[in-house]
A and B are shown apart, each in its own frame.
Chain A
Amino acid sequence: MPFIPHTDQDVATMLDAIGARSIDDLFDEIPGALRCGPLDVPLGEREMEVTAALTQRARRDEPGPCFLGAGAYDHHIPAAVWDICSRGEYMTAYTPYQAEASQGTLQLIHEFQTMMAALTGMEVSNASVYDGASALAEAVLMAVRANRRTRRRGAASAGRETATTRVVVAGAVHPHYVATARNIVQGQGIRLDATGFDANGTVDLARFEALLAEPPAAVIVQQPNCLGLLEPVDEVVAAAHAAGALVIAAANPISLALLAPPGDWHDRGADIVCGDGQPLGIPLSSGGPYFGYICTRREFVRQLPGRIVGLTEDSGGQPGYALTLQAREQHIRRGKATSNICTNQGLLVTAATVYMSLLGAAGLNAVASRCHAQTRELVTELASIDGVERRFAGPFFHECVLDIGRDAQDVAQQTATAGITGGLPLGRWYPDLANCLLVCATEKRSDADIAAYRDVLRRILAHPEQPATASAPERTG
């Protein structure tokens, strides 16, 4: 029997000790009408057979060079990262509730919190949430709580409650993030109003100012934005703070090695920084498991959801680590918890912590610089094809929108058939950009990869457009 160690003798001895005649007797409290017959699933297979069957499927999806980013990035992962993560001591432990038996995980999370706070220019970090999109949703809930408190304080003398449940989405924020946040927060009556982007592909500042007229609880801005471009974050922070709104920054952690950390934007910086940690040593894996991070300033730490590790002492006065601030969490606070969140993404945090330790500040900077350089190279090469040009002119980090002059969905399918993951057809997100591809090159894309993609794309575009047949993959929902 798979994974069940009992001998027949064991079963007999155990039933005897219980005073039951059969294992079936142990289910005698379940009404007979509720018992089910054999499940409608196939018979079991050996590990060897399952491995063979699934290996065949995995091979069907084995990708060629990947020029697709859009929230998930194909970086090099040093071998040591997953060798360490695959140790049973990390992989098969649970939440470190018994601190003395979990110092490994706890110290590692404390190191993670330290590194993320440093990277984002914030003072504190949690131990992660599910992914970047759910981190944004939690950041919105957190900002509304924190802002309600701040406003109540400010308005106390006027003797009125000025709670607001409106949040403004400034500029081009990943549509899947916005959809996720909206789906998660709407049950609590929180509304997201989006400015959209202007002809530069960044926040429409006039519309932004208009949406601030009635002050929202918070403003969300993504840097680099989901079109790869740099938003005018200092202006956004200045205007948001002037309106009494908190600023939530969604940031790619690798980009922070080159760009100003959100904690340094404008005067006092963003108030909450969140994002997806996938670029830090986690494989693409069809979208997960990744992890979401949330960092903030110390004054908001009690509104920060999820697990948090603190340094303390043991009874002998030796330093040690423990989960702290647990009274905010669902297992104690139940219906009044800061969130229903229970698990963090511990194993992925382990990967990111090892990854950041292996690279260090200099290594992260080298990765980020190389991504930027290769993306510039990619854009130069692809734009050398007749009819291909940049859609937006502003500076970018490691993603760029190219107008290819015809339906990009069809072209992306053809490049996939040619063995290249060629970028995101932006019509999936924005109907106006149906002729555009969002392309990305990480440090893994060699000059030869780029040249090969250029040649494939040139060949495809040299042929007349075919009417689309297959339906498009997953869309925004």
Chain B
Amino acid sequence: MPEVSELQAVRHYTNLSRRNFSIDNQFYPLGSCTMKYNPRGAHRVASLPGFTGRHPLAELPASQGFLACLHELQEVLKAATGMAAVSAAPMAGAQGEFAGIAMIRAYHDARGDTERREIIVPDAAHGTNPASAVMCGYVAREVPVGADGDVDFEALKAAVGEQTAGIMLTNPSTCGVFERRIADIADVVHDAGGLLYYDGANLNAILGTARPGDMGFDVLHVNLHKTFATPHGGGGPGAGPVGANERLAPYLPTPMALREGDAFRWLEPADAPDSIGRLSAFAGNAGILLRALAYARMLGRDGMRRVGEFATLNANYLMERLRQAGVELAYPERRASHEFVITFRQEAKEFGISAMDIAKRLLDHGIHAPTTYFPLLVPECFLIEPTETETKEELDAFVAALTQVLGEVRTDPERVKTAPHNLPSARLDDVKAARDLRLVHGAD
């Protein structure tokens, strides 16, 4: 344990903070993470003493304010996703996935339909999808994504059968394109008795324009730290509310807020005997839920639609500018959703430069690197998500910076390979970090 004065501690952590990139300091186009502006007003509201001081097990008379907020958020998320009911209990997207798949299993089990062992996942999906399926006792069966970025429909049809418990899809997908045959996919899976899970990681792209509930999804999660602008906090907290249609609503995790006239109460086990139960000690990441509610109220009906519209506008503009600058697009025939994939396989082949090298050099330009090496099926790729809160000027500056780096790849590749050069640390040795584990200070 350290023994320092208050000033020493404050100075230490203030100085450390200056060694971080953040949305407040830099453009942060991290694909699939939706690094948009986190409104200060939402943070302020969630920090009100009545909210921060409320004990999670406080009696109902001293809980009406919080329960009203939780109930209102559940209603907003129902409307935004087209679902019949929402539970805000899951504490992150991955826990939302777990909840959704556990609900699918509970549904099949309740019908005595216990031979369904597989959850289908596209090979381009987030790693959390197969991991969540396995945690629920399923086998994750991968289906390929075609050259156009859509799921290979024939392969999907061949994979679906009486062993299929369900499918997990992100739409728009992790390839940054809208899954055009989603209605057909829904039919194939439903006809076989399976259910559809919507991974809400990319909901920002279609907020106010299209709803998963209308596409045939039975259950979904929403990443509030993405679409609803709650701060990422250096890797969390998040929040991953789950929504379900009428068929799966009885299985939603607890706790949930219930309204009875003007009063609110918790949903009791007696109200939800089929629930998959609780996934946290109390009511999930309540403070994050409050921030999301404040943001949703500031957006309102039109603001929500504009989120999807301008996120899409920014992505398509940036993609087009990069195409014109000679960058290779992974799916050149497609519209971008709110994000898109580019590949540096030519640079890798010709100059021995990796996508990671380019990412590190972008840091020198004061830009946080896009997501690298995801989706896994595109070699040497970036997944770029500018979000709606960035200006055209910021996007133009990104194009200029990347163009400059790509020029340098040809003129001075060593400079790129050894980047970054202007940061507190030079390139860190992650091989040494893994081979020679030094996980606490002062140990060996």
Contact = CB atoms under 8 A, between A and B. Distances in A.
A463 interface: no
B391 interface: yes
Contact of B6 (A27, A80, A276, A349): A80
Contacts of A417: 61
B369 interface: yes
Interface in B270-286: 272, 275-286
B193 interface: no
Contact of B209 (A17, A27, A362): A27
B236 interface: yes
Interface string B231-258: 1111111100000000000000111000
Interface residues of B, number: 184
Given A36-B82, A72-B55, A471-B265, A6 B391 contact: yes
Interface string A149-176: 0000000000000000000000000101
Nearest to A7: B392
A353 to B, nearest CB: 8
Give the interface size bracket for A toward B: 35 or more
A372 interface: no
Contacts of A188: 135, 137
A56 B51 CA distance: 11
A262 B42 CA distance: 40
A301 B439 contact: yes
A341 B423 contact: no
A29 B317 contact: no
B280 A288 contact: yes
Contacts of A174: 281
B115 to A, nearest CB: 16
A214 interface: no
The CB with the most chain A CB atoms within 10 A, among B6, B20, B25, B278, is that of B20
Contact of B299 (A2, A84, A320): A2
B297 A68 contact: no
Interface stretch (B155-163, B300-308, B344-352, B403-411): B300-308
Nearest to B98: A340
A322 B304 contact: no
B363 A98 contact: yes
B38 A47 contact: no
Interface string A365-405: 00000000000000000000000000000000000000000
Contact of A473 (B63, B126, B440): B63
B276 A183 contact: yes
Contact of A130 (B33, B61, B280): B280
Given A41-B301, A94-B232, A103 B425 contact: yes
Contacts of B28: 94
A104 B135 CA distance: 33
Contacts of A119: 1
A236 interface: no
B20 A90 contact: yes
Given A31-B183, A176-B278, A309-B439, A50 B14 contact: no
Contact of B392 (A10, A111, A313): A10
Contacts of A298: 437
A210 interface: no
Interface string A299-324: 00100000111111111101011111
B79 interface: yes
B190 interface: no
A243 to B, nearest CB: 26
Contacts of B290: 54
B56 A41 contact: no
Contacts of A68: 55, 57-58
Contacts of A330: 94, 126-128, 130-131
A40 B426 CA distance: 51
A240 interface: no
B38 A92 contact: yes
A342 B92 contact: yes
A382 to B, nearest CB: 18
Given A101-B423, A104-B18, A180 B55 contact: no
